[in-house]
Amino acid sequence: MIPVTSYVGIGSNLGTKRTAIASALSYLDDRRSIWIERVSSLYETLPQGGPKGQPLYLNAAAKISTTLTPFDLLARCKEIERKLGRRPAVRWGPRIIDLDILLYDTLIVMSKRLTIPHVLLHTRTFVLQPLAEIAGRKKHPVCAQSMRSLLRSCNRLQYH
């Protein structure tokens, strides 16, 4: 398979967050089926949703090339989450690592186990900010707006 470009959102709010993100990136970058092309800065963000009183998050986004199918990429992300010690817990609760597929080429996937683009991508500043840094002009395959423009809309909604 010819490699395709995909974007993965990364978040952590437990333990040594920076180290967990660095480890997740190095596990992803196996150079056989996934190649990391670019990584955003790390952003410290307030928890949204889930239980009250969670620690702050560190969020980032990575541009990858991959020969994996979307479902195999999802399985790989979950495997890495497990390897780094993430265990099933309450929805949107604190976690050592979260790897979400944000975009996979221009593909749209809507299944029970996998939605691409990530279903909340256009509503989350903590995802759009790192993503817009490395893919500002990239268009959302469903609404056709750029990541930069989605980030602006999201910021407007939050502050007014």
Identify the residue among 80, 116, 134, 154 touching ligand ATP (CB under 6 A): 116
Q: Which 79-98 positions form the footprint of Mg ion (CB under 5 A)? A: 98
Piece of the chain touching ligand ATP by CB under 6 A; list 31-39, 59-67, 95-103, 142-150: 95-103
Identify the residue among 41, 85, 92, 155 touching ligand ATP (CB under 6 A): 92
Dig out the tokens for 1 from the structure.
Answer: 């398979």
> Which one-letter DSSP state was computed for residue 123?
G
- Are the CB atoms for 99 and 10 separated by under 8 Å? yes
Task: Tell me if residue 95 is catalytic.
Answer: yes
Q: Name which of 115 and 149 has its Cβ closer to ligand ATP.
A: 115
Candidates 66, 67, 53, 55; CA nearest to 11 is 55
> Which one-letter DSSP state was computed for residue 118?
-
Identify the residue among 63, 76, 118, 140 touching ligand ATP (CB under 6 A): 118
Interaction between residue 133 and ligand ATP (CB under 6 A): no
Identify the residue among 98, 130, 151, 154 touching ligand ATP (CB under 6 A): 98
Question: DSSP characters for 70-105?
Answer: HHHHHHHHHHHHHHTT----STT---S-EEEEEEET
Dig out the tokens for 131 from the structure.
Answer: 């993503």
Interaction between residue 133 and Mg ion (CB under 5 A): no
Binding site for Mg ion (CB under 5 A): 98, 100
